[in-house]
Amino acid sequence: MSERLTHQDREGRVRMVEVGDKPVSQRRALAGAHISMAEPAFRAVRDGQGPKGNALYAAELAGILAAKRTADLIPLCHPLPLTSVKVSIEPDEDGSGFDIHAEVCCDGKTGVEMEAMMAVSVAALTLYDMAKALDKTMTISAVRLLEKSGGRSGDYVRDPDS
């Protein structure tokens, strides 16, 4: 692993990484996040009965849109021609919140990790927005890269215990 930050030049100025000479390859990233909430809010969201309508559908769509707009919000991300974005939101095992997953794919010269993490982050924020009238204490946590494949650095699978 390089000791140098790739988005800085030798003088420490930020720059967008040059990817022009890199070959196009299939890229895939899977990210996750979690949102916990009080039981009444959880039941309402789970049952599609939130104060603003079906929060799960809105959050999944928001996650897809966010992945597509990542380069507009993260200054040094390259705009990418995404080939697939899938966002899924499921109740967690103890019924206190939701696990959010996003899978993003493209055929490109740079990875889609940021797009996947953007998707789960915005999906979680959308759930918060949709249910905040029921519970202002909701907590968004565990935004993380779970897997990635493609590119020079190879494949990565997060240790489930980390």
Arithmetic mean of pLDDT, 76-87: 96
What tokens does 70 get? 């990542």
Size (the chain), residues = 162
Q: Look at residue 2 and tell me whether its pLDDT is greater than 60.
A: no
Convert the pLDDT of each residue in 129-155 to its tens digit: 999 999 999 999 999 999 999 988 889
Convert the pLDDT of each residue in 32-68 to its tens digit: 999 999 999 999 999 999 888 899 999 999 999 999 9
pLDDT of residue 72: 97
pLDDT of residue 1: 43
pTM score, whole prediction: 0.90
What tokens does 97 get? 């919140």
Domains in the chain: ranges and CATH: 25-157 (3.30.70.640)
Arithmetic mean of pLDDT, 81-92: 97
Residue 155 bears catalytic tag: no
pLDDT of residue 3: 59
For residue 158, the 8-state DSSP code is -
The whole-angstrom separation of Cα 93 and Cα 147 is 21
Convert the pLDDT of each residue in 117-127 to its tens digit: 999 999 999 99
Q: Which of 99, 129, 135, 155 is catalytic?
A: 129
